[in-house]
Structure 1
């Protein structure tokens, strides 16, 4: 069975402990029968690098740095060639721009990268987050502890369609795309598929701080209505997708549905952790159709609480703010 991805770019940000990252990228590429390119993407040296690094004769210029990097990557790739054919490339410059312009130029349909582990990266906006915001294709961020096979796959959906009309169709298409990716991963990994949706009738901080008075009986009635509405929205989505899949696919997958009442910024991650999730597939664009609202607070807060791999999906028609022209700047 051929998978969802056909042309994969695996990004390495350094030369430390990358064997498990490459192994996982090979596993994903093999599962999807995709071509695989390993790209070592490094920051360019500062203008005064020769002076600062004078005592390090083995890396005294940009060109020698590139030569060293290419030699290292070539040696790494040779270890995996017997398991799966790979291509290699080295880029030295601005990793964000280099990665995205390569995605555009060579039409990669998936970027794989290991999650950064620095607290400062999370605090000030890591390369991972910037890729999830701006990369035009899906980005698969591996957890620090890579696993050889996924047992539980989560599709995180936003089934709330109480938005302006121009946003609703885009949101529905994004939900369908998230579920398509999750289904493919689940089928190829022989894993359990979970569908998670978290809804909140009244933001809890408003109730907690006493800004409004809530009738508990009426609230329970409203919550039941919302739950039924979201169940129906999910059922409609599954029925629409069933026609695209091979017969009996849904019966084989037996997806488990989790429609949870709670605060989305907390409960999406909490539910995901309770399911012992290996990978979550989720949308990475908030307020669709509103310029500048990329990677909203809920998505970013959720990702910073997760301890599993993340596949970030953009809506159809998303255009990266980075273009091929940026590669020449």
Structure 2
């Protein structure tokens, strides 16, 4: 089974150890996928050099690009790349996330692989990191890589949203679970499903003393368990691998991932942008900060990136 066919790897310009490259080469070998290694570079001082003619500035810029291509060639010497289809792309762009997305669109890549780093509080809201932009705007799945290894016979946790109703989440739930099973097939791992449901609103219990919060929670839990079981049945996922827990997804998912020692968490991202994203963020963004394993973010069917080529 093939996990992916066409991988775009975002290299870290400041690291000799390339976590994303390590992961992508592993995927490429087991999936027989092609790989594009990309690096986005930019130096504002080159654009401000008014003493030089435009042609001379372009020559200097091309020289810097060629230097980075040589650096990538040297980097690859430390890896076993035999029989792998690898291409290199170095772009001059002042917005790295746009360069990555444009490359993913033109190259028709089905996954972007990038190492992720921690982000600090307010700074990550005002200056949105590249991986946050990718989670919201990338046209394909995004695999954010951390330190956790990918052992065979490990566990992959797929986080889905189920209710007692048939709603717009169903299509994304299927895409999430299908992606999890594709990766599980390649990695000889098992798929676990998790569904978080909200507890009884505190305000209702306070305003209506006779409101039975215990019964409310039981009914909600039962509805979610039934919906999850129906979803799992389509994919042949056993009851032992179905987890329904009370709480917010950004709390429940990391807790269960840690309990299972999951190697990969798969979830959907709706690509929220604008002020709502700045204030609320997305579940994927909250989760990636708290888990110690990789995260695969899957887009809804028909998603179109707001970044145009």
TM-score (norm 1): 0.79
Give the root-mean-square deviation of aligned CA atoms.
2.9
Tell me how far 1:82 sits from its aligned partner. Answer: 2.3
> Out of 225, 240, 263, which is 1:231 matched to?
225
In structure 2, what is the equivalent of residue 247 of structure 1?
Answer: none
SS at 2:44 equivalent: coil
2:149 is equivalent to residue 147 of structure 1: yes
Q: Could you tell me whether the CA contact under 8 Å between 2:135 and 2:271 is conserved in 1?
A: no
Change beyond 3 A, Cα 1:19–1:29: same
Tell me how far 1:12 sits from its aligned partner. Answer: 0.8
Please give the alpha-carbon distance, in whole angstroms, between the structure 2 residues aligned to 1:185 and 1:265: 22
Q: Could you tell me whether the CA contact under 8 Å between 1:285 and 1:296 is conserved in 2?
A: no
In structure 2, what is the equivalent of residue 202 of structure 1?
Answer: 200
SS at 1:5 equivalent: coil
In structure 1, what is the equivalent of residue 182 of structure 2?
Answer: 184
Q: Could you tell me whether the CA contact under 8 Å between 1:8 and 1:112 is conserved in 2?
A: yes
Q: Could you tell me whether the CA contact under 8 Å between 2:16 and 2:75 is conserved in 1?
A: no
Tell me how far 1:161 sits from its aligned partner. Answer: 5.7
1:280-299 CA deviation, whole Å, 9 max, x = no partner? 00011178xx9986684433
Q: Could you tell me whether the CA contact under 8 Å between 1:161 and 1:171 is conserved in 2?
A: no
Q: Could you tell me whether the CA contact under 8 Å between 1:285 and 1:315 is conserved in 2?
A: yes
Change beyond 3 A, Cα 1:118–1:220: closer
TM-score (norm 2): 0.83
Q: Could you tell me whether the CA contact under 8 Å between 2:3 and 2:186 is conserved in 1?
A: no
In structure 2, what is the equivalent of residue 113 of structure 1?
Answer: 114
- Unpaired segments of 5 or more residues in structure 1? 52-59, 243-249, 325-329
- Unpaired segments of 5 or more residues in structure 2? 50-58
In structure 2, what is the equivalent of residue 246 of structure 1?
Answer: none
Please give the alpha-carbon distance, in whole angstroms, between the structure 2 residues aligned to 1:112 and 1:230: 32
2:221 is equivalent to residue 221 of structure 1: no
SS at 1:3 equivalent: coil
Change beyond 3 A, Cα 1:16–1:49: farther
Q: Could you tell me whether the CA contact under 8 Å between 1:183 and 1:193 is conserved in 2?
A: yes
Tell me how far 1:213 sits from its aligned partner. Answer: 4.6
1:115-167 CA deviation, whole Å, 9 max, x = no partner? 02353764532101110100010000001x252436221001111366xx8xx
In structure 1, what is the equivalent of residue 133 of structure 2?
Answer: 130
In structure 2, what is the equivalent of residue 160 of structure 1?
Answer: 163
In structure 2, what is the equivalent of residue 55 of structure 1?
Answer: none
SS at 2:191 equivalent: strand
In structure 1, what is the equivalent of residue 21 of structure 2?
Answer: 22
Please give the alpha-carbon distance, in whole angstroms, between the structure 2 residues aligned to 1:231 and 1:8: 36
Please give the alpha-carbon distance, in whole angstroms, between the structure 2 residues aligned to 1:184 and 1:130: 25
Please give the alpha-carbon distance, in whole angstroms, between the structure 2 residues aligned to 1:255 and 1:111: 32
